[in-house]
Amino acid sequence: MNRVILKKGKERAVKFRHPWIFSGAIKEISPCEDGVGLPVYSESGELLGHGYVNRKSDITVRMLSFDDTPCERAIEENLKEALELREELFKGKETTAYRVINSEGDGIPGLIIDRFNEVVVLQIGTLGIRKLKKTIIDLIIKHMRPKAIVEKSNLPSLKKEGLKSEEGLLYGEWDEELVIKENGLSFKVDIQKGQKTGFFLDHREMRNKISELSKGKTVLNAFCYSGAFSVYSLKGGALKVDSVDISKEAILLARENVALNGFSNNENEFIADDVFTFLREKPLDYDIVILDPPAFAKLRKDVDAACRGYKDINRLAFSKAKKGSILLTCSCSYHVNADLFQQVIFQAALEAKRKVRIIGRHELAKDHPISIYHPEGDYLKSLLLYVS
């Protein structure tokens, strides 16, 4: 029987339900095509579960089950369980966009599924999941009944899997201009041209937190993208919100989303500019500043440069911040962990010679669960800081 056999003593992590098996832990893989699912055994012959194989990747096996459940059946069972959780989470919430499958967090490594109204966006990050794409499409149709399924698999990590980007319509049809609801607020989503799968669903709880703090405040939303933080700030009663992004398309989208929710564009500014330049050249006379940049470290080799970027941008913000203001600073760089990110912010505050206190940390969006057995899935960091 085709199988993966681990070296002696290397079964410990799998028994602890960690889904990754690195090449150095493997004694033998039966001759097979990369991407197929195989049972995984300890050297003593104990069945540990099932996972899919890719010899091209440092993570040679990614586990889909930790029992005798084969890969395809495990995917269906995990999808059904994930859908039940989302139905419970968003019951009566006036929210029509959410993550359905959060990769390892929902037991399906290499797969992201986001729902935007009746459109499902699929993001595949591994060879094993790409081999199962037809099965996954059939399962989405069976259990979610979408009007359309769109693929947006364009992750930098695909190269490590020996894969190329794939994007396009996989099933059905849809009006390319979508308007979703999130906590009763409306947002335009451009799946094809937008970042990630079209909208940053993972910051939902932090947007709520900013809304709670915004009454009577002036707000700067830097790296504003779709303007979601801007809309939530205005919902919370902000007096004025300035939105900055280097992309003119993003600024247009932010402006549209603010207007879509009935807020005036007259007193709120929308500025197409490099955020680093804006922070250097403009006064920061705001009560709340939001720094939510794109990932500065998309690959492990980028970590040093990313840390310099995070330090520079936060030092600029600290050095000009109004006394008694609040700074929300974020990092979605997977390779910059929470401890390192906080250390970088510490250095930025020290160089700016400001008294800075942490008054809050990132609150996880509930549709982005993290497996307790896979802490590496905790990629998004936020610090809510009081600057005096």
pLDDT in tens, 53-99: 999 999 999 999 999 999 999 999 999 999 999 999 999 889 999 99
**Which of these three, 65, 86, 115, is where a domain ends?**
65
Q: Tell me how many domains the chain contains.
A: 3
Query: pLDDT under 50 in the chain at which residues?
Result: none
* Residue 124 CB-density burial (10 A; 0-12 exposed, 13-18 middle, 19+ buried): buried
Please name which of 114, 134, 271 lies closest in space to residue 195, comparing C-alpha atoms.
114
CATH of the domain at 29: 2.30.130.10
4/39 Cα distance (integer angstroms): 6
Helix, strand or coil for residue 321? Answer: coil
**Which of these three, 128, 146, 179, is where a domain ends?**
179
114 and 251 co-located in one domain: no
Domain of residue 109 covers 71-179
With a pLDDT cut of 70, the percent of the chain lying above it is 99
46 and 79 co-located in one domain: no
The set of residues, in sequence order, having a beta carbon less than 8 Å from that of 72 and lying 6+ positions away, is 37, 132, 135
100 and 61 co-located in one domain: no
Look at residue 280 and tell me if it is in a domain: yes
**Which of these three, 112, 147, 179, is where a domain ends?**
179
Question: How much is the pLDDT for 189?
Answer: 92
Helical ranges in 44-91 per DSSP H: 71-89
Question: How much is the pLDDT for 265?
Answer: 73
Look at residue 290 and tell me if it is in a domain: yes
Specify whether the CB–CB gap between 309 and 335 falls below 8 A.
Answer: no
319 and 254 co-located in one domain: yes
378 and 239 co-located in one domain: yes
Look at residue 51 and tell me if it is in a domain: yes
Question: How much is the pLDDT for 303?
Answer: 86
Specify whether the CB–CB gap between 132 and 108 falls below 8 A.
Answer: no
Question: How much is the pLDDT for 297?
Answer: 66
Half-sphere exposure of residue 222, counting CA atoms within 13 Å on the CB side? Answer: 25
Please name which of 63, 74, 75, 68 lies closest in space to residue 26, comparing C-alpha atoms.
63
Look at residue 207 and tell me if it is in a domain: yes
Question: How much is the pLDDT for 195?
Answer: 82
The set of residues, in sequence order, having a beta carbon less than 8 Å from that of 272 and lying 6+ positions away, is 244, 245, 246, 247, 248, 251
Q: Which two tokens stand for residue 383?
A: 């610090």
Indicate the pTM of the whole model.
Answer: 0.93
Q: What are phi and psi of 56, to 5 degrees?
A: -75, -20
Specify whether the CB–CB gap between 6 and 21 falls below 8 A.
Answer: yes
Look at residue 195 and tell me if it is in a domain: no
